[in-house]
Amino acid sequence: MVTALPSKPPVDLRVSVTDRCQLRCRYCRPAGATGQPPSAPLSGAELVAFVRQLQRTHRVRKVRLTGGEPLLRADLPALVRRLAGLGVPDLTLTTNGQALARQAAALRAAGLRRVNVSLDSLDAAVFRQLTRGGELARTLAGIAAALAAGLRPVKLNMLVLRGVNAAEVCAVAAYALDTGCEARFLELMPIGLTPRQFARWFVTAAEVQTALARAYRLTPLPGRSGATSRDYGVCDARGRTGRMGFIAPCTRNFCRRCRRLRLTADGWLVGCLARQDERVALRPLLADPAAWATGGGDALVARALERRAGRRFERSAAMVAVGG
């Protein structure tokens, strides 16, 4: 186990373990969007080596495994076990849930702590149309399996799109209360979309919050330093309580306090989603500690953490190309 440095500000790391996905969600892989061609993903040894190197110089608070769809990676439980052995305080995973029912228990046993599941609609037809082929029943079964396995809290990510699923925000909030999950409502980001697509679909977090406040009593909760989500306690008319959050990268910019890094499946370090130029090749430096030192790995990480946009998005690649 690597000992973290308590004097350093915390870092949250998103690791794309594969760029493959069985779905083609319209906002993540839109038609005509640019992206990187499929490539061989980093090995488990390379991924673990990067986390170890990061722990040498920074306090790694969270490692989130993403994709593509991370559950398509065959050695995922073994990778989770190795990362858990590094003592990462918060080891979590974001998934579309389609294959979660049969893997939740094994991932929990390997050391995964919790999961975020994309749930953009509770209407099977809308879900299938938005994901281009996803089966709502499979994702709901995955959520149930995650809860049963103890992967808590299960957070349900709903990306709200005007004219597509915006009318369902109260239904998703109710489902979260019914199941003991936390609902999180996300603004669309203009990454990989045409200006027309973005303008047609974009809904502000304030609009969503106003709609939910008509049905629920919302109480602001204390925020964690660097958090992207503004969280609220929620209570319905029957007295049931829970928690929900709003993530608003476009209307409530959080660049100033952001301490996030992304490692793509093919070994590129992305420091800021909003910057087109923030992409550094790390794969050549992960072979051994000597290569990391001679290649200036620590300096590359430091630069990625320091350069935050604080302005409009300019990245053109689809979300799937930068870890979803």
Residue 233 has pLDDT above 70, yes or no: yes
How many domains would you assign to the chain? 1
Give the list of residues 6+ apart from residue 272 with CB closer than 8 angstroms, or none.
255, 258, 278, 304, 307, 308, 309
Least confident of 105-114, 153-162, 193-202, 209-218: 193-202
Grade residue 31 by pLDDT with cuts at 50, 70 and 90.
low
Own/partner pairs for 276-283, CB < 8 Å, 24+ apart? 276/314, 276/315, 276/316, 278/304, 278/307, 280/304, 282/50, 283/42, 283/46
Report yes or no on 156 lying in a domain: yes
Mean pLDDT, residues 33-60: 85
Q: Is residue 141 part of a domain?
A: yes
Q: Does residue 6 fall inside a structural domain?
A: no
Instruction: Please state, for a pLDDT cut of 70, what percent of the chain lies above it.
Output: 86
**Between 3 and 162, residue with greater pLDDT:** 162
> For residue 200, what pLDDT is reported?
97
Residue-averaged pLDDT of the chain: 90
Beta strands in 221-302 (DSSP E): 229-235, 241-247, 260-263, 268-270, 280-281
Q: Please indicate, yes or no, if residue 222 is contained in any of the structural domains.
A: yes
The answer to the question of residue 5 being in a domain is no
* Domain assignment present for 191: yes
Q: What is the average pLDDT across 64-76?
A: 97
pLDDT tens, 241-250?
Answer: 999 999 998 9
Q: Please give the pLDDT value at position 34.
A: 45
CATH number reported for the structural domain that contains residue 295 in this entry: 3.20.20.70
Amino acid 4: pLDDT: 45
Read off the pLDDT of each residue in 149-169 and give the average, rounded to a whole number. Answer: 98
Q: Is 214 among the domain residues?
A: yes
Model pTM?
Answer: 0.92
Domain that holds residue 118: 12-322
Mean pLDDT, residues 184-194: 92
Are the C-beta atoms of residues 69 and 95 closer than 8 Å to each other? yes
H helices of 72-134, in order, are 76-84, 104-110, 124-131
Note whether residue 154 is domain-resident. yes
User: What is the CB neighbour count within 10 angstroms for residue 37?
Assistant: 7
Tell me, what's the pLDDT at 259? 85
User: Is the model's pLDDT at 180 over the cut of 90?
Assistant: yes
**pLDDT at residue 6 in the model:** 54
Question: For residue 226, is pLDDT > 80?
Answer: no
User: Would the pLDDT of 114 be above 90?
Assistant: yes
Residues 27/29/33/37 CA torsion (nearest 10 deg): 160
